[in-house]
Amino acid sequence: MTRKNRLPKFPDDYIDTKAGEYDSSKSMERNQKRSTLLSIQYLFDNKLNDKEETIVQKNDSFLILDLGCGTGFSSEILIEHGFRVIGVDILIDMISRVREKKRIYENYKDIELILADINFLPIKANIINHIISISSYNFITYGKSNYGEKVKLLNDTAKYIKQILKQQGRVIIEFFPKDDKELNIFNKSFINNGFEGFMIKNNPKQKSGQTFLLLKKKE
């Protein structure tokens, strides 16, 4: 199930025994944690500060929504950096492993966990400081084969994310678009629904592969 060979298949590679394989994979853990560290760095990228009065700097009291937290690799890094964390995942086989870590390990004690679809979260408006999503945002369109359905779902999700974010809230999405068309509809869903920002790729000419969207909520 290594990413260099293929992208994981949702949900097959994240349920039953596959969830355990994922959680015990040292390469997966290493890649997820590295991407989370990069995302924290991007969260406070100076290029997102366009005016002096809206500069956002690191604050340990920030409440971070870990969107698609999986078995907790990304949440662990966020907690280590002092953030308050809400982990969200739609798969019980994945999030149950974070619950077990929360029971066993002291550094997981304060994480809040929600088993839910991102569009149906019991979260009030204007309560989340920032959102980070590591390698899971592709999967929100699972089951939507029609292009129009995908666009609508992505737009609805972006609107919801904007609603729960506080003023100056930021979003870092690390994902793996399969081509320029897919990258476009994901990016436009945010740009057309109250966000601004830019993207970072390992190679500016790449049409697929690891991509980071750096976004901030418009005032």
The answer as to whether 25 is a domain residue is yes
The pLDDT value given to residue 122 = 85
The answer as to whether 3 is a domain residue is no
The answer as to whether 7 is a domain residue is no
The answer as to whether 136 is a domain residue is yes
List, for residues 116-132, the tens digit of each pLDDT value.
988 788 899 999 999 99
The answer as to whether 1 is a domain residue is no
Residue 165 sits in which domain range?
12-217
Six token digits for residue 24: 């015990």
Provide the 10 A C-beta neighbour count for residue 69: 27
CA distance linking residue 46 with residue 56, whole number of Å: 9
Find all residues with CB under 8 Å of 16, minimum gap 6, and list them.
93
The CATH number for 159's domain is 3.40.50.150
List, for residues 157-195, the tens digit of each pLDDT value.
999 999 999 999 999 999 999 888 889 999 999 999 999
The answer as to whether 190 is a domain residue is yes
Find all residues with CB under 8 Å of 178, minimum gap 6, and list them.
7, 208
Number of domains in the chain: 1
The answer as to whether 4 is a domain residue is no
Give this prediction's pTM.
Answer: 0.91
The torsion angle over the Cα atoms of residues 104, 107, 111 and 116, rounded to 10 degrees, is: -60
